[in-house]
Amino acid sequence: MSARQTIRRAAAAMRDGSLTSVELTRAALKAASMTESQVHAYLTLDTEGALQAAEMADSELGAGDDRGPLHGIPIALKDNMVTKGIETTCSSRILSGYVPPYSATVVERLEEGGAVITGKTNLDEFAMGSSTEHSAFGPTRNPWDTDRVPGGSSGGSAVTVAVGSALGALGSDTGGSVRQPASLTGVVGMKPTYGLVSRYGLIPFASSLDQIGPFTRTVADAVDVLSVIAGHDPHDATSIPGSVPNLDAGLGRGLDGVKVGVVSEMQRDETEPAVRGAVANIIEQMEANGAKVQEVSLPSFEYALSAYYLIAPAEASANLARFDGVRYGNRVDGANVADMMSKTRADGFGAEVIRRILLGTYALSAGHFDAFYGQALKVRSLVRRDLDAAYEDVDVLVGPTSPTTAFELGAKTADPLTMYLTDVFTIPANLSGHPAISVPVGLDEAGLPIGFQVMAPALGEPTLFQVAEAVESIAAFDQEPELAGSLA
Amino acid sequence: MPIDIDIAHVARLARIELSDAELAEHGRHCADILEHAAKVQALDTEGIQPTSHPLPLVNAFRDDVVTPGRVLARDVVLDQAPAVEDVYFRVPPALEDE
Amino acid sequence: MTTTWEPVIGLETHVELETESKMFCGCPVDFNAEPNTVTCPVCLGLPGALPVPNRRAIDMIMKIGLALNCSISEHTIFHRKNYFYADLPKNYQISQFDLPVCEEGFLDIEGEAGGRVGIERVHQEEDTGKSNHMGGDGRITSAEYSLLDFNRSGVPLVEIVTKPEIRSATQARAYGLELRAVIVSLGVSDAKLEEGSIRFDANISVRPKGATTLGTKVEIKNMNSYRSMERAIAHEVIRQAQVLDDGGRIVQETRHWDEDAGVTRSGRVKEGFSDYRFFSEPDMVPMVIDQEWQDRIAGELPELPSDRRKRYQGMGLGEYQAALVAGSEPELVQMFEGAVDAGGSPPSVANWLTGEVVAALRRSDHSLAASALTISHLVELVGLVESSTISTSAAKAVLAGVLDGEGSPGEVAEARDLLQVSDAGALEAAVGQVISENPEEFERLSGGEQKLIGFFVGQVMKLTGGKADPKVVSGLLRARLSD
């Protein structure tokens, strides 16, 4: 097999006639058929729809109707983005069988861009989790070691890109749900600036933190996916008005003169030595490649996780109130409405979702609001203030994406708090709304991928991609799990 | 600092019917998490404004215009409902009058 | 010693705004649509849908706030009010909590039970769907199941909350009527109580006269007319006083007014207080209302009812009539203003409009706007009466003809042969005929029984089909007597 297939390579090949979208899509579907029984990345594989879209893309491209960088490219969607006519479940029993009557804005943009949507991927129920074990339809497994988790909550999307059952995928990142699984599965995963990508049609976990982002094999591919889905949406009041920054403005520019901050609080003892070593090695080489590296301290950093685990459940407790058995989804009958709703919700939600709803309800309730939710919002201000201050001195902040590589299934499910701690490095960017990306930089001694995180200020995507691409080329990580299908 | 939670009351507020065993387990987990989360209380936030939104955006409105294309046909609306009667969604009786 | 109890009353009023589209989505506001036909992912609360606020609704609430002398908040946000109810699709209502659009205003009420009523706040929210409780006797408590229609879900709703300083049921009613007049004059809602586009809830407590603390409050719902509002509040005040006089205590609860029985009935006892877990709506960004925006809305404010009443009184209308016209439907007010501008005498125009015109429209079940009556018709009609070209009784027939689309008042009077006959020569024969047909009565009249003049005038009017000018007829009779 020659070099790994990427969106950019495939797009070029489709335009010079050496590859068709149908061939590429068939290869992705074949990879799915070879790997799904072992990884369970997809909840719904839309073979027929994908092949139809691929045929359409081929005929359009043949006729010179070029819809851009994703035209004819197989893309998978996390199953918390609504797709008109295609079951959308959020990996929850309460929505099992639910077929939405409308599509999310990102789905419409992908379709307008000629992308081939392969199907819907597995996630932790309602995106609440860090391992994709909390799915009502069974866990997704890490293709590097199927006894291990792929991270989460967008584990299914990460794995499709890792095994080649899609060339790109969309996930949603509320506390690290794109970057952490990207890190654990050896792919690129990016969370854009809050408001850059429309949330309309993303079934929310925590509205002020959620942001849709791409999984790809390369940084340049992430630029391409983001360029198609980004931009103001009048149906999302939190979407940023005006034009999107020139996303590929920094590609190919290297690190010369770039000011890089290494976050002291991210060099923690709890972080696995292999991860610390790999990250330190990359930072050294960044400096060698012209970056100006300095240590940066974010004093509020250690409070970010606590604030997050109050804010996210609080918003979630309201966001998930609509699942009540009245208008859609599944119902368990009861003697009266309240009884029906209480039984429906107890039956339809998994334990982790119930836990977070209870947490959030408590944090918002009378008598506790100021001490918990109110205080968490102030801590959020402090986190943002610290980050803003840091970005006065540096262009980007760097560190590990996750303190560990992929852990074994079941290792953290018994103790929710341990699981929550896996998001400790990714959460600050969600609280601040800033963009961040995870780039694979190597494997640990067990052969498990390690991710390197780059963070930038709001709308700093061009610099973020510039640095991420430089890190990618320094690391030259080109390994694939043995399971992966060939997309060449 | 152990946190004392009336978990049964919280579950009632959230409309989730749980067994005593489930309540006990969730109560324990929530207390653990809240104890950790209570760290936020240690931070001095005197004079700090809360951030409920990550971006400094204001005034995102829509014009008062009807968009007929987004209105859903009734059969589509009722198609996903667990229980329907005639042209309505059907639910068990309400007990409360609020 | 008996305690004298003093009522403390606060009113919460919900007003549905007449925007084209709903508060947070582009569905039409259409109360006549078939059930469940004007909904979309947003107002049905489908997974993933997001709200975007309607700018014009904010314009409208600012109008209401300014008309109620409120200050407009420069910084305001939406909150989520969390409670589960089957006709509330998201199981939270997007509302406002501690940063409403308008705060701290007042409304002055005229008349005996008048006075200034303080307005605590005016905030923006969304309406719920509608529940139809089925089976049992149709009451919510005995229903077997409910059927839901979400057409109303997401209709913009403004809530106006008074301070607890209304002191009587009569004042509460007067406030309700004045508030309605203000809302209607602003053109932001038709504010029809019977259709639910304006709804009043009352919070009532009593306390010993002179006390400064507040008693336990009871919420009264289901007041479906201004009269029932007054009755319900008066009843509840007496009920509470009796409970306390008997040594009982007031329970914090919601009570429903039973119009037929004339009593309030207990609904649900509130469990302490409701825990709505308000928090700022993360799906929307803050609203900043700058001075320019506020000035623009202030510049769009129409004349308010109190100012209008004063102006009408200045035109020669009596207090009652001025209030009647000023508080009428906008089309009627427009026609009044137009007719006066076109030279009609204000008291006569007002009399005709609020009297015969309204009565005739009610009989024919037509609206003024849909009727054939124009401003120039009205001015002409009033002019014909004042110039004695037609009699008042003929004018009523003429108006009926105009409303039936038979033409202008002049044309109708001519066509129906209703022009008043003032020509003494033409009436002489009729007077003669009536005298010869009633010789006995004429004898008595001649003998000095003056009240019989009216009888003879009436007979002549009858004979001439109402066209005779009664003044001329009476002159002719007197002339005969003195002969």
Q: Domains of chain B: which residue ranges?
A: 7-42
Q: Characterize the bridge pairing of strands C218-221 and C145-149.
A: unpaired
| Over residues C416-429, mean pLDDT | 74
CA distance C463 to C451: 20
Residue C382 has pLDDT above 70, yes or no: yes
Chain Cα centroid distance, residue A224? 16
Task: Name the pLDDT band for A156 (thresholds 50, 70, 90).
Answer: very high
Please state the φ and ψ torsions of residue A191, each to the nearest 5 degrees. Answer: -110, 115
Question: Within chain C, what is the greatest distance between any pair of CA atoms?
Answer: 97
Share of chain A above pLDDT 70, in %: 99
| Over residues C446-473, mean pLDDT | 83
- Judge contact between C391 and C466, C-beta under 8 A: yes
Which of B9, B13, B15 is the mutation pick for testing A, counting most A CBs within 10 A? B15
CA distance A111 to A114: 5
Q: Give the amino acid at B26.
A: H
Helix H or strand E encompassing C445: helix C439-446
Contacts of A260 (CB under 8 A, 6+ apart): A283, A286, A287, A291, A292, A293, A294, A394, A395, A396, A397, A398, A467
Predicted pLDDT at A325:
96
Distance from CA of B31 to the nearest CA of A (A): 9
CB contact under 8 A, C141 and B97: yes
Residue A168 has pLDDT above 90, yes or no: yes
CB contact under 8 A, A317 and B37: no
Dihedral sign for Cα C48, C51, C52, C56, please. Answer: positive
| Over residues C359-384, mean pLDDT | 81
| Over residues A171-176, mean pLDDT | 97
Annotation says A177 is catalytic: yes
- Residue A99 located in a structural domain: yes
Q: Give the amino acid at C43.
A: C
SS3 A157: helix
Helix, strand and coil content of chain B, in percent to the nearest 5, comes to 40, 5, 55
Which of chain A's residues have a Cβ under 8 Å away from the Cβ of C283?
204, 207, 237-238
Which of C279, C281, C285, C288 is the mutation pick for testing A, counting most A CBs within 10 A? C279
CA distance C312 to A468: 75
Residue A130 has pLDDT above 80, yes or no: yes
Dihedral sign for Cα A308, A311, A317, A318, please. Answer: negative
Residue A266 has pLDDT above 70, yes or no: yes
Which of chain C's residues have a Cβ under 8 Å away from the Cβ of B97?
140-141, 254, 256, 267-268
Distance from CA of C250 to the nearest CA of A (A): 24
> Domain range for residue C464?
424-482
Residue C391 has pLDDT above 80, yes or no: no
C269 φ/ψ sector (left φ>0, alpha ψ -120 to 50, else beta): beta
Distance from CA of B8 to the nearest CA of A (A): 10
CB-facing half-sphere around the CA of C293: CA atoms within 13 A: 17
> Domain range for residue A376?
23-236+246-482
Same-domain pairing of C68 and C140: yes
CA distance C205 to C252: 10
Same-domain pairing of C307 and C244: no
Question: Any idea what DSSP says for residue A348?
Answer: H
Q: Where is pLDDT greater, at A438 or A269?
A: A438
- State the CATH number of the domain containing residue A139: 3.90.1300.10
Residue A268 has pLDDT above 80, yes or no: no
Please report, to the nearest 10 degrees, the dihedral formed by the alpha carbons of residues A291, A294, A300, A306 taken in order: 50
Could you give the C-alpha distances from B7 to A316, A337, A376, B19, B26, in angstroms and in order?
A: 17, 22, 21, 11, 8
Q: Give the amino acid at A469.
A: E
Task: Name the pLDDT band for B1 (thresholds 50, 70, 90).
Answer: low
Residue of A92, A135, A154, A177 with catalytic role: A177
| Over residues A303-323, mean pLDDT | 96
- Describe the strand order of the beta sheet including C5-16 as a list of residue ranges: C71-72, C102-109, C115-126, C156-162, C5-16, C198-208, C218-221, C253-258, C263-269
Count of CB atoms within 10 A of residue C450's CB? 9
- Residue A7 located in a structural domain: no
Tell me which chains share at least 3 CB pairs under 8 Å with chain B: A, C
- Judge contact between C182 and C68, C-beta under 8 A: yes
Q: Where is pLDDT greater, at C329 or A251?
A: A251
Same-domain pairing of C271 and C309: no
Predicted pLDDT at B2:
62
CA distance C402 to C393: 15
Annotation says A78 is catalytic: yes
Considering only CA atoms, which of A18, A42, A7 is closest in space to residue A165?
A42
Lowest mean pLDDT among A353-362, C8-17, C248-257: C248-257
- Residue C369 token pair: 């706007």
- Judge contact between A200 and C48, C-beta under 8 A: yes
Residue C208 has pLDDT above 60, yes or no: yes
Distance from CA of A209 to the nearest CA of C (A): 9
Residue of A92, A103, A131, A153 with catalytic role: A153
CA distance B4 to A164: 49
| Over residues A290-306, mean pLDDT | 93
Same-domain pairing of C129 and C184: yes
pLDDT, tens digit (0-9, with 9 covering 90-100), for B37-75: 888 888 888 888 888 888 889 999 999 999 999 999 999
Distance from CA of B25 to the nearest CA of C (A): 24
Distance separating the N- and C-terminal Cα atoms of chain A: 7
Pick from B87, B94, B96: which is nearest to C36 by CB?
A: B87
> Using CB atoms and an 8 Å cut-off, which of residues 319-338 of chain A contact chain C?
321-324, 326-328, 337-338
A375 at C interface, C-beta within 8 A: no
Chain Cα centroid distance, residue C127? 21
State the Cα angle at C162 between C161 and C164, rounded to 5°.
Answer: 125
Which residue is closest to C85 within chain B, CA to CA? B98
- Residue C298 located in a structural domain: no
Same-domain pairing of C107 and C43: yes
Predicted pLDDT at C139:
63
Which of C95, C132, C144, C283 is the mutation pick for testing A, counting most A CBs within 10 A? C283
Task: Name the pLDDT band for C441 (thresholds 50, 70, 90).
Answer: confident
Same-domain pairing of C224 and C193: yes
Residue A2 has pLDDT above 50, yes or no: no
SS3 B30: helix
Predicted pLDDT at C469:
79
CA distance A35 to A39: 6
Q: Characterize the bridge pairing of strands C79-82 and A116-121.
A: unpaired
Would you tell me the crossing angle of helices C330-341 and C375-386 to the nearest 10 degrees? 60
- Residue A5 located in a structural domain: no
Beta strand extents in A224-291 (DSSP E only) = 259-263
Task: Indicate the burial class of B25 (C-beta count within 10 angstroms; 0-12, 13-18, 19 or more).
Answer: middle
Predicted pLDDT at A433:
96
Length of chain A: 488
- Judge contact between A42 and A141, C-beta under 8 A: no
B47 at A interface, C-beta within 8 A: no
Task: Name the pLDDT band for C393 (thresholds 50, 70, 90).
Answer: confident
Pick from A95, A326, A364: which is nearest to C86 by CB?
A: A326
Considering only CA atoms, which of B81, B79, C150, B98 is closest in space to residue B90?
B81
Residue A169 has pLDDT above 70, yes or no: yes
| Over residues A464-486, mean pLDDT | 90
CB contact under 8 A, C56 and B64: yes
- Residue A265 located in a structural domain: yes
CB contact under 8 A, A326 and B54: no
Task: Name the pLDDT band for A173 (thresholds 50, 70, 90).
Answer: very high
Contacts of A144 (CB under 8 A, 6+ apart): A162, A185, A186, A406, A447, A448, A449, A481
Same-domain pairing of C367 and C444: no
Q: Where is pLDDT greater, at C336 or C415?
A: C336
Contacts of A360 (CB under 8 A, 6+ apart): A310, A312, A313, A314, A315, A316, A317, A318
Alpha-helical runs (H) found in C33-138: 55-67
Predicted pLDDT at A487:
60
Pick from C47, C50, C148: which is nearest to A235 by CB?
A: C50
Considering only CA atoms, which of C75, C77, C72 is closest in space to residue C61?
C72
Predicted pLDDT at A47:
97
Count of CB atoms within 10 A of residue C354's CB? 18
Q: How many helices (H) and strands (E) does chain C have?
A: 16, 16
- Residue C294 located in a structural domain: no
Pick from C47, C50, C92: which is nearest to A318 by CB?
A: C92
CB contact under 8 A, C49 and A369: no
Considering only CA atoms, which of A308, A436, A478, A317 is closest in space to residue A379?
A308
Task: Point out the domain boundary residue: C264, C288, C312.
Answer: C288
- Judge contact between A162 and A38, C-beta under 8 A: no
What does pTM read for this prediction? 0.89
Predicted pLDDT at C273:
58
Could you give the C-alpha distances from A211 to A193, A206, A225, A323, B53, in angstroms and in order?
A: 8, 10, 14, 21, 13
Residue A488 has pLDDT above 50, yes or no: no
Pick from C21, C53, C133: which is nearest to B66 by CB?
A: C21
Pick from A200, A234, A322: which is nearest to C89 by CB?
A: A322
- Residue A426 token pair: 């990714």
- Residue A144 token pair: 């590097």
SS3 A47: helix
A364 at C interface, C-beta within 8 A: yes
Buried b vs exposed e over A57-80: b needs ≥16 C-beta within 10 Å? bbebbeeeeebebbbbbbbbbbbb
Share of chain C above pLDDT 90, in %: 45
CB contact under 8 A, A324 and C148: no
Residue B98 has pLDDT above 50, yes or no: no
Q: How many domains does chain A have?
A: 1
Predicted pLDDT at C10:
94
- Judge contact between A398 and A455, C-beta under 8 A: yes
Please state the φ and ψ torsions of residue A50, each to the nearest 5 degrees. Answer: -65, -45
Count of CB atoms within 10 A of residue C417's CB? 9
pLDDT, tens digit (0-9, with 9 covering 90-100), for C109-134: 987 778 899 999 999 999 999 999 88
Same-domain pairing of C331 and C242: no
